[in-house]
Structure 1
Amino acid sequence: HISALKKGRFWITPDPYHKDDNIQIGREVKISCQVEAIPSEELTFSWFKNGRPLRSSERMVITQTDPDVSPGTTNLDIIDLKFTDFGTYTCVASLKGGGISDISIDVNISSSTVPPNLTVPQEKSPLVTREGDTIELQCQVTGKPKPIILWSRADKEVAMPDGAMQTESYDGILRIVNVSREMTGTYRCQTSQYNGFNVKPRDALVQLIVQYPPAVEPTFLEIRQGQGRSITMSCRVLRAYPTRVLTYEWRLGGKLLRTGQFDVQDSTEYTVSSLSRDSYGVYNCNIINEAGAGRCSFLVT
């Protein structure tokens, strides 16, 4: 049969009968540890304080949570926190069958143990980037211990770039490789209870703006027309971001024919009123924004 122990996590629950989330002398504090165990019925836990075994007592109550509510979870309730209770608490998960190495989780309880706080550095939102780049969305998390941060989309019910609805981050940074335009939007970072305080989540928002070069049509068109006749070529913008500064340039071979800027129109035209021998060839129209350029090509023969 398969045996496995993985994903050791912990959380600290401050005294539920008081409004503030801090740990204080004279109050109750609860430490919970959770692991994924197969087979779950062979899971046993033991608790230690500063390396010495703990037994359940009136002031230090060790319990196991009902597996239907929270599987693989053990709790240590310190009923009336004293200064001498500060220290490192360790819960060790083992499987009775043996053969699998134990998981041991350390939790420090001290006067500097404080609930988390989240902020987004001002220069980090909105974050402007170009399609194809690698970027980092940043949430600064403080608190001791520092909890795992969960990232999700705040503006719509869509999956994160990695395909999951939520992405875990241990340092508060969400790294996205090869950014695409669909990733434009608002992202939420929030504290999870894991490896931190089991309190109401703190959250913050980061806005991501992805710029991409113009998509144009036609990308290639062949035009056959006799000498002396006229032709008009038109290059149209389908999509681009940003659109506020769109410029165009028409070229024949390497020669610049005309440049200009888009106002409200979404296309630019170039007319040759009378074709002569040297007006045949490849005409290119480049439409340019901050993120790059799109090109329409016309082969006039």
Structure 2
Amino acid sequence: MSHNICGYISFLNEILILLLNYVGAKIIKLKFKDDPIFIGRESNVTVVLGRDASLTCKVENLESYKVAWLRVDTQTILTIGHHVITKNHRVGVSRRDQSWSLLIRDVRPTDGGRYMCQINTEPMITQTHHLHVSVPPDIVDSDSSGEVIVWEGDNVTLHCAASGTPQPTIIWRREDSAPFNVGRETVTKWSGAWLNMTTVTRDMNGALLCIATNGVPPSVSKRILLHVLCKPTARFTQKMLGVYVGETMQLKCRIEANPPPTVYWTHIDLNKLYNGSKYQMSLKSQGYKHTAVLRVRNMSRDDIGSYYCYVENSMGSARDDITVYTLATTTPISTELTTALEDVTTTPLQTYAELEVKEHDPDLQFPDEDRIVVVLSQHQMQSLDFSPSS
């Protein structure tokens, strides 16, 4: 009986010694060693799409505890200590002194979100970091306007859709930077995904640019062609033109038309002219503006008169005309007239124009040589003596 009591007392002593040792260890630990703590605050990290991201937490007094990184939204464990747990090959981990960094290479939009740095203390302590992925702007072609055709005088609405993070802003402008009408305003640029232009004129024919930007380079743009259909107009910059006999004449007809027009030329009796050795015709176009050129070689008196520039397209037709006359230079005059002129203070005689506008008259005959014409003022006429010569 006494033997059992002694054994029981010995067992109690051993338990007491273990408890004292455990309490002593805890006291020593509290006295000489602190639990791990985070240094610094939670962070917000912004990275451009395709670049590498690094999220870092700093830990003091880590000792034998472990640092783990988790993705909050999916509760996925990414790393524990120096080991990568996830199968995502773009994820890595590194340690430098007290800093533990989660590395994400070639960042994608889906990588954005909250990441937790966790230490396996009891209770567990955590720190959350936010990763924001910036995405450069991109034009969404399927939701944006393409090539547009509109009648002159009508209204037109264009749309430009863009994606990106942050959401891009849209600015419209003409490719040639010229002003345009939006409602009652005349502007050189316009902000917004929609562009509503009123009473479109032919000079709006051309390209507009919708430019998307969100602060993440590069900005992007889409070129939208606007075709304004308009009736033709034809115009010569002058109504009369003087040319020298024997030289080559060139006429230019200024045309506005869309769709591009058909152009032909006629002379006097509306006979159509054709390309050949005598006539050469060409047409140069830039947008809705065109220049029709007629060259007539070796001008003669038969070539003077009116020339017509005819223009037509599916919207209508137009024409304009120009009158061509011959130029002549003065030739030597008689000695008596020369002497008389020397006594008169005049400006030098200049080239003059013979306005011999040819009518369509088969009986009309022209002399073989140019007539000599001298143009004098009234004072000069009074100073001359035109007495009959013997």
**Superposition TM-score, scaled by structure 1 size:** 0.48
Higher-Rg structure is: 2
**Superposition TM-score, scaled by structure 2 size:** 0.39
Structure with the higher fraction of residues in strand conformation: 1
